[in-house]
Amino acid sequence: MANPTATLQTSLGDISIELYTDQMPITAGNFVKLAKDGFYDGLHFHRVIQGFMLQFGCPNSKDPKSRAAGTGNGPGGCIQDEHPEDAKISNAPGTLSMANTGRPNSGSSQFFLNTVDNSRLDWFTPGPSKHPVFGKVIAGMDIVSAIEATPTDRGDNPVTPVEMIKVTISE
């Protein structure tokens, strides 16, 4: 059975992502459930850092200028960390990775799209950051680049909000 595809319809264009439900069933499954429930629809990218990543998925980002954007969890709270020995997928450009607070089992609804090689964030490398990859962009890297180029304020929040209009899952 093929992995599902997520289409991220943003205010700057569409991004298609293969979700690795075969290798990362907890993390990718959590994303699929939230997307199917409409959780991500109408939220905004709340953290954009050129030469690093784009972060999204905080419920507090419905208001793109909220000071609480980046601090919230999705319905159901946090999920179990997923670090399978047979799925050592690196935080390479175009990959989708689980955001967390740095504490164990603190991932929830927030994720980030890597725009460069961020292998230092791999869960299987030394260091405190442990971010499992659970998908990869298969179309729309030009849109990822356009979001990355969006001017931001000092808090890495886009000056002109970038909205996630809708996330659709195709299985």
The ranges assigned to domains in the chain are 5-170
Residue 124 falls in the annotated catalytic set: no
Checking if the pLDDT of 128 tops 90, the result is: no
How does 38-75 read in b/e, with b if 16+ C-beta sit within 10 Å?
Answer: ebbeebbbbbbeeebbbbbbbbbbeebebeebbebbbe
Checking if the pLDDT of 1 tops 80, the result is: no
Nearest to 110 by CA among 23, 3, 30: 30
Residue 80 falls in the annotated catalytic set: no
User: Which of 112, 113, 118, 134 is flagged as catalytic?
Assistant: 112
Checking if the pLDDT of 18 tops 90, the result is: yes
- Is the domain spanning 5-170 CATH 3.50.50.100? The answer is no
pLDDT of residue 108: 97
pLDDT of residue 129: 81
